[in-house]
Amino acid sequence: MADVVSLPVSQNEFAKLIGVSKGTVSKWKAAGKLVMVGDRVDADASRARLEGLGVLDRPKGDDIDARIDAAAATGLRALMASGQLLDKADAETVRENFVALKRKLELEVASGTLVEVDPLRRQLFTMWRAQRDAWQTWPVRVSAIMADELGIEEGRLLAALERHVRLQLSELSDRPGSLRGSD
């Protein structure tokens, strides 16, 4: 089998290939971290050199997106707080990262994997209230039928069912994660 030879690519293509901004590739070129063939990047040799330098080492695992997002957000907050000006390449990198994070959030909202807390809280509270109301009216609806089947006095059964339903609802509302106190 013949060896596969990779053709040199443009800086933009190399940036897309390894998932970084064009500004980052420009910085690497200026720092001599890329293997250039004329004005094009030798992708395989440059990737190998960057990995050897530890530049392309990225965290492994399921939480890679969370780590990258957290690092980007932290860096952006620190940059904004410092008030310092950036050179054009750094400013483009920050802008591209911000736009990418914004698009990711928009996609997560559109796909339903990210939702606003307040509307969800209100919806859960409404659902819980409907369940509570159904349980509170249940003893009245079934006590006559149950008393007849068991051959006991309806008033005593109704009082016992209401007491136990109230106790159960009270215990449920006192559990961690309940919506007690929500509107």
For residues 59 and 145, what is the distance between their CA atoms, to the nearest angstrom? 64
For residues 169 and 162, what is the distance between their CA atoms, to the nearest angstrom? 10
Instruction: Specify the pLDDT at position 157.
Output: 95
Query: Can you tell me whether residue 9 is helix, strand or coil?
Result: strand
Q: What is the pLDDT along the chain (183 residues), one digit of tens a residue?
A: 344 445 788 898 888 888 888 888 999 999 999 999 999 998 888 888 988 888 875 444 444 455 556 666 666 666 666 777 777 887 788 788 888 888 888 888 788 788 888 888 899 999 999 999 999 999 999 999 999 999 999 999 999 999 999 999 988 887 766 555 444
Instruction: Specify the pLDDT at position 62.
Output: 43
Instruction: Specify the pLDDT at position 165.
Output: 94
For residues 138 and 162, what is the distance between their CA atoms, to the nearest angstrom? 8
CB atoms within 10 A of CB 52: 10
> Which pair of structure tokens corresponds to residue 141?
């609806």
Query: Can you tell me whether residue 7 is helix, strand or coil?
Result: coil
124 Ramachandran zone, left/alpha/beta (phi>0; psi -120 to 50): alpha
Query: Can you tell me whether residue 54 is helix, strand or coil?
Result: coil
